[in-house]
A and B are shown apart, each in its own frame.
Chain A
Amino acid sequence: MTDQELKEIMKPENIVYKKSGLLRDNIMHYCPGCSHGVTHKLIAEVIEELGIKEQTIGISPVGCSVFAYNYIDVDWQEAAHGRAPALATAVKRLLPDKYVFTYQGDGDLASIGAAEILHACNRGENIVCIFVNNAIYGMTGGQMAPTTLVGMKTATTPYGRNVDRNGYPMKITELIAQLPGTCYVTRQSVETPAAVRKTKQAIKKAFLNQKEKKGTSFIEVVSTCNSGWKIDPIKANKWMQDHLFKFYPLGDLKDSVKDDPESYKQYIE
């Protein structure tokens, strides 16, 4: 291809993909290849496409994505470790016409914040919860998470996770799917173009569910942590496909509306 031909192609009207206008220009602090970057991008794209930037409030967690607020150009609150769903509950109840989403990792959501996420989902808060599960604590240096697979080596399970010592890996998304307040519970990933597109559709659906006041939408994104896993980003994706997907299978766990309150009245009548 000649330079002239390239110039012909690279005209603004021929752009078919560019950085979301809702992503700020700063460089993300994430390690090369980190799934957080893709997930952030999808949230930004969805908010941009729905035209709800000035009606959206994000809640960032403690962990690698603590700085999520630096990258997506909406109003943000940074929560204490595990408490994002509590913040989101208050925000949504006080501002019912706004869009509220939480963004949490597996340590934040499934360990220290297990109570907050379960109760927010059980109350059926009309919020979107994004759960990035890479089976490890990234920010603090690769320690065992509640979702770490048995046998998986981490900084605090140097010989592999052992059930007798460390308990079982937690499928918190399956727990959440059982809660009557949830309307949409799905497990997705972002390692291939197809997976990314599916996750984007899931995020968009979750925001639309919020608009329709259907209940809590919960999206797990099975992710990599190549630094924590100590392998390169491409191998990390492969490892995730070969191992994490077996224990955390992708797909929708629930897609309906929250339970009808009427159906709960029979028990005391």
Chain B
Amino acid sequence: MGELRLMKGNEVIAEAAIRAGVDGYFGYPITPQSEVMETLMIRKPWEETGMVVLQAESEVASINMVYGGASCGKKVMTSSSSPGYSLMQEGISYLAGAELPCVVVNVSRGGPGLGTIQPSQADYLQVTKGGGHGDYHVIALAPNSVQEMNDFVALAFDLAFKYRIPAVILSDGAIGQMMEKVELSDFVPRRTEEQIRKECGDWCTLGSNRHNVVTSLELDSTIMEERNVKLLKKYEEISKNEVRYEEYMTEDAEYLFVAFGSCSRICKKSIEMAREKGIKVGLFRPITLFPFPTQQLKVLGQKMKGIMSVEMNVGQMVDDVRLAVECKVPVEFKGRYGGIIPSPDEVLQALEEKLVRK
């Protein structure tokens, strides 16, 4: 059993990063995720593991610092919230284009624009469908607990390095701010330069006689197309191997909630209330938003009388749910927007009105 603590989701990101042997964190303050960098600054990991922690001048600089560090084969990360994540999109596109591993945490909040500082899931589309320019994807992990905030840091780095791809932890203000019991991961030492050379020596820029160049630029469009094909194959491989999801009370379910992050927890309460009324409803929770568990949802979903996608946005994941079940099952949507978290009652009410009583 690892060390148990009562911590905020944001604080856990910082602690997990230190314990995962992360080499560098570069960030810029934004509510509701500022505790990530604050916790790191209090913890002073540079004294403990040698980890670099730097407050950058902007999110734009942060993500480009991540690009610089990732190009060296280092484990580097940043965190932000929705408006800051938008600013990082150019850099994320470059990271994806140059096939660099890194972790970006987005503790999302309501928008558009400056929006609100309350929790939201309105970044689903910009995280899962690209966000920046060009054809690319990032791996997107959606934690629904402080424990998963801890667990997904190391997981995100593992996946990022396995596939040389940016991995995003798409959290929200509720998970970031809430305090829960968490079992912390064990410490993993930072890799030595020799270890990095062994693992990434054919591409990383640590200084070498190899003339390693990290770039996303290619003026010859036939070669650029080949690069796109290579990326596409990588995304297909990820989609085949890395789908993660959770099913809850689906064995006898006639109806299904599909929800990720905070919303999945609300749905669990709604399920409890529904079952007291005799409505057999279960939950399908995508843990990876990219790759989306399309096949798994298809198999499960097609057994249902109806499905409701529950989201803290105006309906961003619902299209993926409809595509998964190929529109063979009625798919409804229940959302709250602008920083409002739906209550279990209103979710249940929506289920009854939109699906059960129809």
Residues of A within 8 A of B (CB): 24, 53-57, 59, 66-67, 69, 73-80, 83, 86-91, 93-95, 98-99, 115-116, 119
Contacts and interface: CB of A to CB of B under 8 A. Distances in A.
Contacts of A59: 68
A75 B210 contact: yes
Contact of A91 (B72, B91, B213): B72
A94 B207 contact: no
A94 B74 contact: yes
Given A75-B208, A77-B214, A94 B61 contact: no
Given A98-B206, A115-B61, A76 B69 contact: no
B136 to A, nearest CB: 14
Contact of A90 (B58, B69, B209): B69
Given A75-B211, A79-B67, 4 more contacts: A59-B68, A94-B23, A95-B72, A115-B61
Contact of B65 (A55, A86, A99): A86
Contacts of A76: 205, 211-215
Contacts of A88: 68
Interface stretch (B49-57, B108-116, B163-171, B288-296): B49-57
B205 A89 contact: no
A57 B215 CA distance: 13
Given A69-B213, A78-B215, A93-B24, A98 B65 contact: no
Closest 5 pairs (CB-CB, A-B): A87-B68, A78-B215, A90-B68, A86-B64, A75-B205
Nearest to A83: B64
21 contacts: A53-B209, A59-B68, A76-B205, A78-B98, A78-B213, A78-B216, A83-B60, A83-B67, A86-B56, A86-B61, A86-B62, A86-B67, A89-B65, A90-B26, A90-B67, A91-B68, A95-B72, A98-B206, A115-B57, A115-B58, A119-B56
B284 to A, nearest CB: 38
B217 A77 contact: no
B207 A55 contact: yes
A69 B72 CA distance: 15
Given A87-B67, A95-B207, A98-B206, A116 B212 contact: no
Contact of B71 (A73, A77, A116): A77
Nearest to A67: B217
Contacts of A93: 24, 52, 54
Contacts of A91: 68-69, 71-72, 205
B65 A69 contact: no
Contacts of A77: 67-68, 71, 205, 213-215
Contact of A116 (B64, B207, B215): B64
B20 interface: no
Contact of A56 (B207, B214, B215): B207
Contact of B215 (A69, A86, A95, A119): A69
Contacts of B180: none
A216 B91 CA distance: 24
Contacts of B64: 79-80, 83, 86-87, 90, 116
Interface in B65-106: 65-69, 71-72, 74, 76, 90-91, 94, 98
Contacts of A115: 57-58, 60-61
Interface string B12-52: 00000000000110100000000000000000000000001
A75 B24 CA distance: 20
A80 B72 CA distance: 16
Contact of A75 (B54, B90, B206): B206
Given A54-B207, A93-B24, A98-B206, A86 B68 contact: yes
A33 B57 CA distance: 37
Most chain B CB atoms below 10 A, which of A83, A88, A119 = A83
Most chain B CB atoms below 10 A, which of A53, A55, A75 = A75
Nearest to B193: A95
Contact of A89 (B23, B54, B94): B54
Contacts of B67: 77, 79-80, 83, 86-87, 90
A139 to B, nearest CB: 11
A93 B68 CA distance: 10
A161 to B, nearest CB: 27
A162 B94 CA distance: 35
Most chain B CB atoms below 10 A, which of A24, A66, A73, A80 = A80
A94 B69 contact: yes
A123 to B, nearest CB: 8
A75 B196 CA distance: 15
Contacts of B66: 90
